[in-house]
A and B are shown apart, each in its own frame.
Chain A
Amino acid sequence: MTINIETVDVTNALNDIDQFCDIPNARISGEIFYRSDIYEQELEKVFARCWLFVAHESQFKKAGDYIATTMGEDDVIVVRQKDGSHRAFINACPHRGNKVCFSESGNARGFICNYHGWSFDIAGNLIGQHESGVYEDSNFDASQWGLREVPLIDSYKGLIFANFDAQAPSLKEYLGPMTWYFDALFDNQEGGTEFVGGCIRSTMDCNWKIAAENFVGDILHAGWTHDSAARAMLGGAVSKVSDFDESYSVNWNGHGYEFALDTVGNVAVLGESALNKYLHTIKPSVAERLGDFRSNMIGSVSSATIFPNFSFLPGQNTIRVWQPRGPNKIELYTWVLVNKSAPEDIKEKWRKGAMMTFSPTGVFEMDDGENWEYCTKTARGKVTSKQHLYVGLGPDTLLKDTDLPANVYAGQLNEANSRAFYQYWSDLLKAPNWKAVPDRNVGRTEAGESAAQCVNKEMG
């Protein structure tokens, strides 16, 4: 089947970007969380151009297995093919645009539109219609009217990403050296990872960037925001992050990861000692596989975002996508990730732990939701929305002589990742195409000798 998707024409950049996103001066304005014209620009210049997470490989077992999700506000279906590959299609019939798949996941022979009976096979080909004779009489060319395919799809360690922009850089180039850190969660054991249980869906009345930025580099909020939740789950306060001897904020192309090296600070808040024990048990084999440095990250106080809207917490093992639903609303898609090789009771404890902490009724989620909603809602005030917001912590923390890959900053109590996130966002809003996006990366493209020692053989 030929690629039959029309690309989105990029409209001119807004002329006041530097006013609402002034990173050299470490300032943003609340209007970025509320203005609908900014949101429209995001849909075309961020969500229609960036690599977006669509599914995990463990969600597919056989041909015809599918996941329905969204890329930005575009409904898509990801379908496993007979050859084991995955393809993504717009979940809309090419005749009158009706949705062709209404369930979230399952196995299907194909997809039949409810409106006029257009029928598509799992490869997206249009294979028939109700009253097929009238199409034959109209010299209808069915080969031109298959489901519209998302041009790019690729995966990294089980995570499947898709991209509407055929001119985009490869997923490998897009993620860059950040994958070295991602492996601490996604490749710390033989056999890789899987999702356990289903997708938890919920909504918040906040802008998607507030949530994405919280995970890209904001551990600062935890000790204050989550104090009561931590007391409920742990019987004590959140670890005092400034007491850690060594911690980092790293970023690349707007993605970011902030972390300490305390191994189990994140997992501890699930209140299940068996999970702490599991991580301590696997730690020596992680050290053998990934090196000592990353074996300290498997459940440490940490968080990460892959630009624009895919985030995760190692330790809590919560994975989420902040699906934009207008400038001041998100739909959260949340899953729990575990090592495939973990014992079943450990997987189950992680699933329950996520329900207790990071789900619509989770004690941590509610803490965050309240804050994020009001960060958004205050910007409803016209005057308030124009006021500057401070993102200046950690101005001179870039580490120039480190063997760690990507742009590396000392300390996780640091807004370097938030600045990098908003800078990349602003660069995309200005750029008419991918070639015009400036490369602001200054760090190593791969781990140097001291960081890479003891890495597994696959990585060479």
Chain B
Amino acid sequence: MKQIFLCKAGDLPSETVRKVENAEYGDIAVYNLGGQFYATADLCTHATASLAAGDIEDDLIVCPVHWGTFHIPTGEARGFPCEVGIKTYPIKEENGDLYALIEAPEQQAELIAKG
């Protein structure tokens, strides 16, 4: 399990999303929904787009390019044209810092094999 620093909790106002660049695992979108923090992959699964540039509507993130939607807590694709869900990452909050917990690639592969 890898721990990736996202941002300070206090720097992410409620109902906003921001992009955290990460070359190794792909960019991460971190959200504050009414004080609850979530993290997902930032790249839309439909076409090249940064979800963090989109709008939050309730608990959905609306992709800025084709306006498809994903459910922020689960990553499920919810609205056309999105069909494939986005990865979600558990969040750890420590001393006001937010971290995404990312499984190492081999662990992920293992999960998929079991899946």
Contacts and interface: CB of A to CB of B under 8 A. Distances in A.
Interface of A: 109-110, 112, 117, 119, 121, 127-133, 136
Contacts of A128: 47-49, 65-66
Contacts of A119: 65-66
Nearest to A119: B65
A60 B62 CA distance: 24
Given A109-B55, A117-B81, A130 B64 contact: no
A112 B55 contact: no
B54 to A, nearest CB: 9
Contacts of B65: 119, 127-128
A109 B67 contact: yes
A117 B65 CA distance: 9
14 contacts: A109-B62, A109-B67, A117-B81, A119-B65, A128-B49, A129-B47, A130-B47, A130-B66, A131-B47, A132-B47, A132-B49, A133-B47, A133-B48, A136-B48
Q: Interface range on chain B: under 10, 10 to 19, 20 to 34, or 35 or more? A: 10 to 19
Contacts of A133: 47-48
Given A117-B81, A130-B81, A112 B67 contact: yes
Given A132-B48, A136-B48, A127 B64 contact: yes
Contacts of A112: 66-67
Contacts of B47: 117, 128-133
Dominant SS among interface residues on chain B: loop
A83 B9 CA distance: 30
Nearest to A126: B65
A119 B48 CA distance: 12
Contacts of B48: 128, 132-133, 136
Nearest to B44: A128
Given A127-B49, A127-B65, A130-B81, 9 more contacts: A109-B55, A109-B62, A109-B64, A112-B67, A121-B64, A128-B49, A130-B46, A132-B48, A132-B49
A121 B54 CA distance: 12
Interface string B27-64: 00000000000000000001111000001000000101
B24 to A, nearest CB: 21
A151 B55 CA distance: 30
Contacts of A129: 47
Contacts of A109: 55, 62, 64, 67
Contacts of A121: 64
A378 B107 CA distance: 84
